[in-house]
Chain A
Amino acid sequence: MSVAEQTPEVRVSQPKMPPKRNGRWAGYRHLLWARMLELKREPEVVFWVFVFPLLLAAGLGIAFREKPAGASPVAIVAGAGAQQAESLLENSPQHGSFKIEVQDDAAARKGFRLGKYDLVIKPNNAGGLTYLYDPARPESVLARSEVNDALQTAAGRKEVIVTSEVVSSEPGSRYIDFLIPGLLGMNLMNSGMWGVGFALVDMRQRKLLKRFVGTPMRRGDFLLALMSSRLVLMVIEIGLLLALGVVFFNMRVLGSLFTITLLGSVGALCFGGVGLLTASRAQKIESVSGLMNLVMMPMWIFSGVFFSYERFPAVAQPLIKALPLTALNDALRASILEGTPLLHLWPRLLVMASWGGISFLLALRWFRWT
């Protein structure tokens, strides 16, 4: 107390400038801005959110690019009749679509087992031929029917119905067209879950959340800013992937950009909500990582990212369709590939909105700030 009496100097904390007044949304604006700055300055985020999905799409797109059906590798088992079968095939009109090798029985079978040959042709004792093929391998089935056609035609079979062919290989039905909307959906899930969930637990662990609630900051604004930062990133994510598809793979985007962005927003918010719920109580990064993977794993597998979920048994279909990533992927594919208008996609939007909304409400109830 004596100190104050001895030094009656001017009050330093008297504002030298007129005090500024913060408006209702100042906190929200600064939170969002700070979040964007942090993301921009984190090289890992830039890589995982933007570069990795592009690499994945490019890699898979190149691996599964459409190529004219190549020559089918076919083995003929050496022995009586092998010579004749070979010359028939060589002289058939379709001879360009086979690559023929004559092998002994064991080598031919081994090659077939390893996928080196699609079909093994074995002359039998009756003067005919036996086909060894695998009905579960599409290329094997194809080779069998092509070879059979070629042999029969070369041996003099006449077609009884006159047919003609039109070649159709349009963008929209290729694997890359299927893949890119799936990757978009998966990326929105990954970055939504990590971007919200991981960030929250990290801030909780650093006691930053506790420090924030020690200020008059509105808690809703904080969560809103976190979600909004997801929307900004979502626009960039979608833009980059679609641009990759259009520029490098001649993808055709039929739906309007507005519809696609809106679907992306609903998806980003939905997974933001799920991420919020996953991270609502966890105190440590390690525990939230496990939880996140547990939540996302079923969707990576079942929601039709890399292959159609129609391949799973019919019993599982309603469950699969109830997953939020399935809804997002379906809606994105319908819009991008088929141009389905937004109004027809409402069941998908409802699924996502329910997941996001219910998660968000539960998260608010359970959320641990300190």
Chain B
Amino acid sequence: MKRDVMISDELVNAFVDHQLDEAEKSRLFDLVEQDEVLNRRVCECHRLKEMVRHAYDHPPAAGRREGRKRRFAPYLQSLVAGLLLLIGAGAGWFAHGQPRLTEHAANLPGLLREAKAPVVLGGRVILHVGSSRPAELRAALDTTEYLLRVSKHSNQQLQLEVIANGGGLDLLRTGVSPYARRIRLLQRTYPNLSFLACHQTVTHLRQEGVAVKLLPGIREAPSALAQVVKRLQEGWQYIQA
């Protein structure tokens, strides 16, 4: 039921931050259950809180003030520079024989190129697709393929989950997705890749009379938002296509 009960942002914050007494908390729980708009505001507030926590989970290592920095002797600097040059030349020599990225993967969205892909070569990554725009759907698959390919070549363990909701669900729908074949190919090639569809979006579309059939091997998550928050709490990296 869509309603918009007049609940102030301060009260929503206090509810999310566990600052209300039992009676007030119970009242809010009842309202949240009945009011879709309020429910969304509470979710948004939770999400923001989680994002802030996540952003400072791993602050950069403590540095030193400029004035206290010890400097290397000039001959040591030259030595280090020489060593780095040798390492760079060696790496270039050995790397030039590595397979090149495919056209798709080379067409990597600005997202990763600019972010220098700091941690996504290994570890656990959740990639969120929420738009049906063709460029974003393609970008999502390009990023997926790039990450998997590079991780494989660099022997990095990567677990990748692609979750789609809203318009992004088009990516995973039979008869709608322009990339069904590519997705099937990716699924076969990379067992460490999984595609998830938002159950809420699927249900909503079906309620509107839209026939939704997902591509083979696509699992459903109860809610895309909940899945992203869950993964963030478990220490996964989040990327938005």
Co-assembled chains A and B:
no
Which residues of B pack against A, CB within 8 Å? none
